[in-house]
Amino acid sequence: MPRTDLALELAQDIEPEKMAPEDFSSRTVRRGPVSIHFMHIRSSRAGERFGVPTGRYITAEIPALTDHTASFLPIAETVGAVLRGLLPVKGTVLVVGLGNAAVTPDALGPQTVRRVLATRHIRGEYARATGLTDLRPVVTAESGVLGNTGLESGELVRGLVSVTDPGAVIAVDALAARSLQRLGCTIQMNDSGIVPGSGVGNSREALNRDMLGIPVISLGVPTVVDAATLAEDLTGRPFKQTTAGSGQMMVTPREIDLMIHRASRLLAMVINAALQPRYAADEVTDAAQ
């Protein structure tokens, strides 16, 4: 099966509509400029068909970020409301940016969390004096990469969870798509967790409820396509590796800098809209920078 992190693309090859309702369900709604696909992989049997853990997988199709020049606010509020539905109603939320900030296609997580408003420290008299008593406690962090920190992402997140005692984790990471047409115009979230680095072919230990004991919501935008997958998709034939390493190449668009800049801002607005719904997501995002 061609490689992809997107559940919507995985569904192209396995005819999920033929699965029993107790195994799988799906629906699609249109909300303004966003088309949202809800997929619920309910059983381990369905999970094996998809090749992913059971859980809710939600895909938002949006205008291409490299072409989109209008305000992101309507999109952020729409997708943010969906994300809020995956989170517990109360409690601190830990937002972690996964990936390598020095590698542009993998910098989505770090650039996103820098725009998410951290609020756990805003409390007590200071919160009352500033009129910010209704802010949800939020902690933000960048995981970095093993080669720079000496820590696996999972080790760092476990430590942060033990210190901050959050009710949930939002993990932001770059994803891989099967089709070039998905890059920069798709947002996926799920409640089954994430494997850090999977989008750029460097998978590490999974972050999920089993590991952390709390809900882990994955959020990402596809920024790369595996070269072998792209070759198969374009030719309709299995890719045959002809040179060493040719099966490990990743393809990314030439507008990747612009894509990451806009995608990180949009995802930050989505997260801020989900966590601080009483405030304008664009203003909160600007205040966080």
pLDDT digits (tens, 9 = 90+) for 154-212: 899 999 999 999 999 999 999 999 888 899 999 999 999 998 755 445 556 789 999 99
Is 43 inside a domain boundary? yes
Is 1 inside a domain boundary? no
Is 202 inside a domain boundary? yes
pLDDT of residue 129: 75
- Residue 108's Cβ-count burial label (10 Å; 0-12, 13-18, 19+) is buried
Q: How far is CA 246 from CA 79, 120, 226, 240, in A?
A: 37, 46, 10, 9
Is 141 inside a domain boundary? yes
Look up tokens 């009352």; give the residue: 128
Look up tokens 């664009």; give the residue: 282
Q: Is 110 left (phi over 0), alpha (psi -120 to 50) or beta?
A: alpha
pTM: 0.91
What is the mean pLDDT of the segment spanning 100-110? 94
Is 2 inside a domain boundary? no
**Tens-digit pLDDT profile for residues 10-66:** 998 888 888 999 999 999 999 988 999 999 999 999 999 999 999 999 999 999 998
Q: Could you tell me the CATH number of the domain that includes residue 196? A: 3.40.50.1450
Q: Is there a contact between 281 and 90 (Cβ–Cβ < 8 Å)?
A: no
Range of the domain at 177: 7-288
What's the total number of domains in the chain? 1
Among the ranges given (115-124, 160-169, 258-267), the one the predictor scored with the smallest mean pLDDT: 115-124
Q: How far is CA 193 from CA 62, 69, 71, 221, 249, in A?
A: 23, 32, 30, 15, 25
> What 3-state DSSP class applies to 135?
coil
Is 56 inside a domain boundary? yes
